[in-house]
Structure formats: structure tokens, C-alpha cells
Amino acid sequence: MKSVLSVDVAKSKSMFMLMNSDGEILIDSIEVKHNFEGFEKIRKQVETFDINDLTVFMESTGIYHLPVERYFKDNGFNTLVINSLTTKNNYDTIRKTKTDKKDCFRLAKLFFVNEVEYHDLSKKDLYANLKALTRQYFYLTQVNVSCKNRYKRLINICFPEFEEIFKSSRIYEETAINFIKAFPHAYIVKEKRIDALYNNLYKTNSRHDYYYKRLAQQIKDIAMNSYPGVDKEHADVKNLSDMAGILQENIKALNEIKGKMIETARQSPYFKIINSFYGIGEVLAAELLGELGDITRFDNHKQLIAFCGLDPTIIQSGKSINVHGAISKRGDKYVRWILFNISQMVVKLGHQCPNHPVYNYYLKKKAEGKHYYESLTACSTKILRMLYSMCKNNTTFLND
């Protein structure tokens, strides 16, 4: 006889209920805290019953379900985590009665009725670790943008001519950051000897010493004629030096995570397949695997597209049905961002690979009068279909 331990997850605590397939409630709804003592308490109660076929069943609730899932998995229980939209879609009713006890009962009922098809969202350790790395990479990338903006603004206050030497993105290179951290104001540079400036520049990279001597002289010359917005005793001078150090550490952390992310992703059997796709480098392939996990777990490409929130909304009014509405955006926003970047890369490099099916699809959509972003969204969907087929059939990308 099947039994289910349904869990209504909340922050730091959950409601548990044990029910068998005959509808008999063996353990009525009880509240348990998310700690070792609480989990042990519910486990011992469950083990007092002679149950051969037991499943621990819960919704994916942000990060709050993770301690519950981990405990029962570590103790050998069959654990199933489903998307919260599954229960919402199956138990939306006119009556909006909602209590923790009722939610436990509804989860148990869903498990036994099995009216809908659901997938186990519990990732293997490989994909779980990879997802953790990719999310950290996304976060640090966003932080890096803010750091760069602040760093550049402070340079314009303390040493505006510095950008004449380190133009465009060169201002974020290790040489520039290391220099401005040590000499964060034009007047500080003006007071230093050329050899002090040269030594700072030279220790960063290993180019010819003549290059750094000339560079030090150039920086000294522009500093002599500089008139910054603040004097060298201003608080923003220290702020610039600190921000350069923060940016330096953040870039270092990003590079370390990027290396770990690619190393972890290479353990997946689908990494080489996805990386073979023209326009997808190692970083994008790792990010995509981190968000999608085992891509072959989906029964068809439509499920994969819906998971990413790229499926069109369908609007019906009377006899009028619009099946080509805007994308639902109910899925993983990070995947959509990754796919958008891939689409942009393919379009950008399209002239180098003129027979690329995604590039040709983009040109077709543009010819139909579609907006640039609308065309890239359509390309994202096509990329998903192609990647799904490639992973299912274990084939790499081939471009005629």
C-alpha cells in the first residue's frame, strides 16, 4: 500500500501529514521546525508504522524546502519535489479557503489522484552545484556592473585625464585598477617620481620595461596639467582607492567562479553537445546547464520551452482565439537572459556562419517585419528546440 508524507513548507517550519492510499490519515497535520530535532521527531513517528512504499511529497518553495528535502534524502526516503504552479493550477477553486492543514491534505490528494503530469525538480548533485555556481556568477556580474560605474565616476572626480591613457574598457584592466588603487588622485601622481609609477605598472604584467617607462611618463605628464574636481584630501580620494580594491577582488572572484563553473559543467554528458553549438562558448554552455539541468528530462521541447517561460500566451474571447500572444514569462528568467545573449551572439557573428539555421531564422523574422527583440525571442525558442534535439539524439552541431 502506498503512503505519502505531505509537507506544506514555510520559512523555518513545515506542516507534515501522513496518509495512505485508502485515505486513512496515519499522522494528522503537525508543525515541525526546520532543525535536526524537529526532523528526527517526525522521522521517528513515521517509522512507528509498517510502511513499505512511502514518498515524501512537497512543493518547491524558493529555498525554504531545501533543508526538508536534504534531510529525508540523506535518510534514504523517496523524496519528490514538484513545482508550486502544479498545485496552484490543480487546486484553484471558487472558495479561497487556505490553511496549512488543508494544504497538507491537498498535497496528499494530488499525489494519489495524480491528475496532472509533474516532474521531479530535485537535481542531481552535479546540476545542483552547477546552479549554485551560476546564480553566484549572475549576482557577482550584476555587482560588478555597479562597481565599475562607481569606480569610473570617482575617477572622473579625482583624476579625469586618466581615461585618456586607459581608454574604453582598458580602464578596468588589472594594470589600471592596480595603479589607481595606489595613486587615486592626479596630485598624488604629480608628487611621485617616475620610477615609483613605473614600478607599480611593471609589477602587474610582464611586457617590456620600455613600454611601462613610457606609460609612466605619459601618466605623469597628464597629471601635471590636471585640475580635478576635489583636492587630494577629499574623502572621495580614499573612496576611489577602496573601490578599486573592491573591483579587483570582485573580478578575481568572478574569474574563480567562472573556472569552477566550467569545470563542473564539463562533467555533464551534454556540455560538449551544447558547447558545439555555434555561438555558445564554455561560459554560456555552463550557465545554460546550470539553469536547465538534465535537459533530456523533459518529454518534449514544448515542455522545455514552457519551463523557460518562452511559450506564447493563448487568449480566447468567444470564437476568437489568439495563439500567438506575448511569451508567458512564467519560467526561469535566467535562462531567457542566457538564450537572449546566445541569440545576439549568433546574429552578431552571422556573417561568419551564413548558413546558420538560427541566423537564417532571424533574417526571416526581420523580413516579416518583426521587431529586433521580438526576432531574438523567436530565435531563443528555436535554439531551445535545436539543443533539445541535439541532447536527446546525442549529436553535435553541424553547419553546412
Q: How far apart are CA 4 and CA 57, in angstroms?
A: 7
Q: How far apart are CA 291 and CA 309, in angstroms?
A: 13
Q: According to the model, what pLDDT value does residue 93 have?
A: 42
Query: Is CATH 1.10.287 what the domain over 129-263 is classified as, yes or no?
Result: yes
DSSP 8-state assignment for residue 350: G
Q: According to the model, what pLDDT value does residue 324 have?
A: 55
Sketch the domain layout of the chain as residue ranges.
2-122, 129-263, 271-393
2-122 matches 129-263 in fold: no
116 by Cβ neighbours in 10 Å (0-12 / 13-18 / 19+) ranks as exposed
Grouped pLDDT means (10 residues each) for the chain, 400 residues: 91 93 91 94 93 90 88 91 65 46 84 57 70 93 95 96 92 94 96 92 78 92 95 96 96 95 94 93 95 90 89 56 63 89 90 86 92 91 94 83
Its CATH architecture, for the domain 2-122, is 2-Layer Sandwich (3.30)
Q: According to the model, what pLDDT value does residue 207 have?
A: 72
Give CB contacts under 8 A, 24+ apart, made by 271-276.
272/396, 273/387, 273/390, 273/391, 273/394, 273/395, 273/396, 273/397, 274/387, 274/390, 274/391, 276/390, 276/396, 276/397
Q: According to the model, what pLDDT value does residue 122 have?
A: 44
DSSP 8-state assignment for residue 352: G
β-pair partners for 31 = 15
